[in-house]
Amino acid sequence: MFSEHATEPRLSTTDYLGVINYNRPIHLQELWERTPRMKDKSLCFIGCGNMGRSLISGLLADGYRTERICAIDPDPEQRDTARSRFGIEVYADNPEIVHQADVLVLAVKPQQMQATLTALAAAMDISQLPLVISVAAGIRVAAISRWLGRDLPVVRAMPNTPAMIRTGVSGLFANQQVGTEHRQQAEALLRSVGAVVWLEEEQHLDTVTALSGSGPAYFFLLMELLEQAAVVLGLPAEQARLLTMETALGAAKMVMESSHSAATLRQQVTSPGGTTEAAITVLTRGRIDQLVLHALQAARDRSIELADRFGNRE
């Protein structure tokens, strides 16, 4: 049965074209009703670190059957953690399991990807055509196909750390071998831990990495600075922390639940001659807009550099 107590909707859905509708939450059961065979697909996670475990947790919370999920990880501690937490089969290495998988989820570090895929290629049957979903940052589809030795349906995903509490967001890109059912399978997997956005061009994943992939750290930094400033201005640290957290949560909820843009909401709370305007004036004079732009450009450029470094190996 589908869990009635699963963390409820991640505040968005997509229409498979990358358009997010923040006003119509969706449960994964709706996806599975559209494609009944989806929940019967066997998934094999290659790597069960933090992101792999987050995805497994989200699927199980939404009713995916334990016996349809397995994982492979060379680290005995990671294997023990996944096995005890989820009750799934976890192996150090098992070529037979790879043969049987309908979907392979690559959740290993970028620097491990070439060795991992080379080993997978040797274990896979030549007639096997699984969907490959990669959540490894910076490894492009061309590199994945090259290391696997053939053109398989591949979906690249860029989730972010709030996926660990099922409130993340992921950018997805599919190669030409990915069909409609494949897209639904990939979307069901990533939607189990948050919202999804489909991208038409793979290069845009570098910008997604800079925006939402690294984005939580930007908000953490702003919250950190707000707390510090409030303490300097006389508030006790615990009160400063609580006020900062609740303000961040409330502002995020207002943006997600409102039909107005963030710019409009900001203007609505910025009264002429008031306290908010005084603060905003300081920030704009300091060219906060240029700082943010340069920060995202630096993160995007670094994403491209890392992709070139790890993905160009033969």
In a 13 Å sphere around the CA of 155, the CA atoms on its Cβ side amount to 29
Residue 314 has pLDDT above 70, yes or no: no
Distance CA 266, CA 262 (A): 6
CATH for 213-299? 1.10.3730.10
Distance CA 100, CA 130 (A): 9
pLDDT of residue 25: 42
Order across the sheet with 43-46: list the strands.
89-91, 69-72, 43-46, 103-106, 131-134, 154-158, 168-174, 194-198
Residues 50-76 have a mean pLDDT of 92
28-203 CATH pick, 3.40.50.720, 3.40.830.10, 2.60.40.1180, 3.40.50.150: 3.40.50.720
- The boundaries of every CATH 1.10.3730.10 domain in the chain are 213-299
Asked if 87 and 64 touch (Cβ cutoff 8 Å), the reply is no
DSSP for 205-274, written as a single string = HHHHIIIIISHHHHHHHHHHHHHHHHHHTT--HHHHHHHHHHHHHHHHHHHHH-SS-HHHHHHHT--TTS
Reported confidence tier of residue 34, pLDDT bands at 50, 70, 90:
low
pLDDT digits (tens, 9 = 90+) for 72-87: 999 999 999 999 999 9
pTM of the predicted structure, to 2 decimals: 0.84
- The boundaries of every CATH 3.40.50.720 domain in the chain are 28-203
State which amino acid sits at residue 244. Answer: T
